Amino acid sequence: AATSRVFAFRDARWAPDPVLEPSAAVRTPQPVPLVIDNGSFQTRAGWASADPAVPAEPLLRFRSLAARSRGARGGAGAETQVGNDLGSPEPLRWLLRSPFDRNVPVQLELQELLLDHVFQRLGVASQGCVDHPIVLTEAVCNPLYSRQMMSELLFECYQVPKVSYGVDSLYSFYHNRRQNWPCSGLVISSGYQCTHVLPVLEGRLDAKNCKRINLGGCQAAVYLQRLLQLKYPGHFAAITLSRMEEILHEHSYIAEDYIEELQKWRSPEYYENNMHKMQLPFSNKLLGSTLTSEEKQERRQQQLRRLQELNARRREEKLQLDQERLDRLLYVQELLEDGQMDQFHKALVELNMDSAEELQSYISKLSLSVEQTKQKILQAEVNIEVDVVDSKPETPDLDPLGSEQSLEDVESINEFEPLFAEEQPEVEKPVAAVQPVFNLAEYHQLFLGTERIRAPEIVFQPSLIGEDQAGIAETMQYVLERYPKEQQAILVQNVFLTGGNTMYPGLKARVQKELLEMRPFQSSFQVHLASSPVLDAWYGARDWAVEYMTREEGWITRKDYEEKGGEYLKEHGASNVYVPIRLPKQAPRTAEALAPSRVLASSTGNPCEQA
């Protein structure tokens, strides 16, 4: 490896999604399904059609985030931005909201914003209804309440004709299935918030033995940020989550043997050859000043002129507002003079005044304020003209504020006094250029050594961040031990890795090493990585939608929703297992059960009647 490799942060800004015009093929002869991969990190949406005119890839890809600003002071209302319209997440980090808790959507008002963004940018006329079938991904073993709220949103708010729910990792599994692949396998899906180990037997998910680890790419980014902020406290604010995600995506890898890899990093030669330097942005401006006294005086004059222009603009705006209010008050006074008492009293109520005397007092004060403002504007113009005519650049000792500067100008200039507080040297001294005592570029570099393997290692060793959970290897072994040896041999023949958090180099080799340690001697197993771990879930959902477009299997119609409730699910090859809500039935009240109550009622009656 090359030594002293320096990489610059891209800090790429998100480009806003354009409003796309749907082709005629998505409407004729019937509306084609709309596939939405509703991920906790990123939302992907596109059409599912066998027509070559319809793109076979997601047309929208944006972060599942929304931010609502508080609105400007001028009276503009709050503005809501979704996904790529945010531009960059860091300036709005404290305003960002996500509809997900882990990988389950729970904030349905934010989910509605994401769906509105999808329908609007894809050109779907959502005014009234969305007449396209929807294929939506959901979490493994999704809670019934979450599915109920999502179905209610789709059927009641958007009036969709039918919906199909499926698991994203299973869609990816079936999209990558080749001719010689078995229908059974062990799916390891690691995403932004969670990691799942899913056994698939004979083409169906075995939901009873699914396991989840509450760790993913989000926790790795937070851990890496904490490591680097402790290592470089001088660059605390510059070490942002977006930059940590960039380091994870492009500079991190999974060690095949973590302890052995740490021993390698102890070698200075190995450290120099494999260490990555991340360059933070910085400025080349020196702390010292090399300006001459004439340049300082000229800069001071420029700042003074800008302040005078700013004050003049403020006075003109104030004069315009006061003049408009004065004209309004004079109009009300004319109503009183003309004898139109009803309109006069109505206008007084609108102005929040009680009597004509109060109106006259306001008119007098406002007239005086308008005249004073006009005098200030005229005086400021005269002062500027005098300064322009009488200015003498060869005598820098003149007072730049003028003899008749207004109090408002003096107060505004006092705010900038630290900018002008340079002493006038009695004797001109030669100015020497200030040389930096260290390399600024190197000072703003982050040296990535063992951090490259420590952050992604948490999915195998959650104890690194203090989590009391099992890693991927222990969870795989636990799931496999719940099956007979024959089924274990079938599952390990197709260990499938998918999800955005499985794109680290070395992850496949690490899983193979862990399987080799836990499996019997000379037993066989195979590990496969998805062709596109991030997009294969959407591609698999599209393949399913094209194949089952005209069938009833897997589709929940509006009639099903109204009859069986929002939590209802029609199962298919890539879906969850539907577990209906079972309410305990009340035991029927028989004659024997009613007899004690009658005796009790008779015993609590009137004592006189009992006698």
pLDDT digits (tens, 9 = 90+) for 148-174: 999 999 999 999 999 999 999 999 999
Contacts of 413 (CB under 8 A, 6+ apart): 304, 307, 401, 420
Q: Among 367, 384, 401, where does a domain finish? A: 384
* pLDDT tier for residue 126 given thresholds of 50, 70 and 90: low
Round to whole Å and give the CA distance between 233 and 250: 23
Tell me, what's the pLDDT at 548? 92
Residue-wise burial string across 289-327, b where 16 or more C-beta atoms lie within 10 A, e elsewhere:
eeeeeeeebeebeeebeebbeebbeebeeebeebeebbe
Residue 37: Cβ within 10 Å count: 27
Residue-wise burial string across 438-472, b where 16 or more C-beta atoms lie within 10 A, e elsewhere:
eeeeeebbbebebbbbbbbbbbbbbeebeeebbbb
Q: Are 217 and 500 in contact (CB under 8 A)?
A: yes
Q: Among 350, 384, 418, where does a domain finish? A: 384
* pLDDT tier for residue 426 given thresholds of 50, 70 and 90: very low
Q: Kindly state whether residue 415 falls inside one of the protein's structural domains.
A: no
Residue 437: Cβ within 10 Å count: 5
Tell me, what's the pLDDT at 404? 43
The domain containing residue 170 runs over which residues? Answer: 24-174+535-564
Give the strand pairing for 445-448 and 276-279. Answer: antiparallel
Q: Which residue, 174, 427, 171, is CA-closest to 293?
A: 427
Round to whole Å and give the CA distance between 401 and 413: 9
Q: Kindly state whether residue 189 falls inside one of the protein's structural domains.
A: no
Contacts of 232 (CB under 8 A, 6+ apart): 239, 446
CATH of the domain at 549: 3.30.420.40
Q: Kindly state whether residue 119 falls inside one of the protein's structural domains.
A: yes
Q: Kindly state whether residue 110 falls inside one of the protein's structural domains.
A: yes
Q: Which residue, 280, 240, 244, is CA-closest to 90?
A: 240
Same domain, 298 and 170: no
Percentage of the residues of the chain whose pLDDT score is greater than 90: 56
Whether the predicted pLDDT of 427 surpasses 80: no
Query: Where is pLDDT greater, at 386 or 176?
Result: 176
Round to whole Å and give the CA distance between 56 and 262: 44
Tell me, what's the pLDDT at 180? 62
Whether the predicted pLDDT of 499 surpasses 90: yes
Tell the residue number behind the tokens 């989000």, with chain if given.
Answer: 218
Query: Which token pair is 511?
Result: 């899983």
Tell me, what's the pLDDT at 291? 65
Round to whole Å and give the CA distance between 132 and 134: 6
Q: Kindly state whether residue 224 falls inside one of the protein's structural domains.
A: no
Q: Kindly state whether residue 550 falls inside one of the protein's structural domains.
A: yes
Contacts of 278 (CB under 8 A, 6+ apart): 6, 7, 8, 9, 243, 247, 251, 445, 446, 448
Q: Which residue, 4, 34, 129, is CA-closest to 541?
A: 34
* Interval 15-29 mean pLDDT: 88
Whether the predicted pLDDT of 402 surpasses 70: no
Domain total of the chain: 2
Residue 4: Cβ within 10 Å count: 9
Q: Kindly state whether residue 127 falls inside one of the protein's structural domains.
A: yes
Tell me, what's the pLDDT at 608? 42
Whether the predicted pLDDT of 79 surpasses 60: yes
Whether the predicted pLDDT of 319 surpasses 90: no
Tell me, what's the pLDDT at 121? 93
Same domain, 164 and 298: no
Q: Kindly state whether residue 590 falls inside one of the protein's structural domains.
A: no
How many residues does this entry show for the chain? 611
* pLDDT tier for residue 425 given thresholds of 50, 70 and 90: very low
CA distances from 180 to 183, 188, 284 (A): 9, 20, 60
- Residue 314: how many CA atoms within 13 Å on its side-chain side? 9
Q: Among 384, 410, 428, where does a domain finish? A: 384
Tell me, what's the pLDDT at 217? 95
pTM over 0.75: no
* Interval 289-296 mean pLDDT: 72
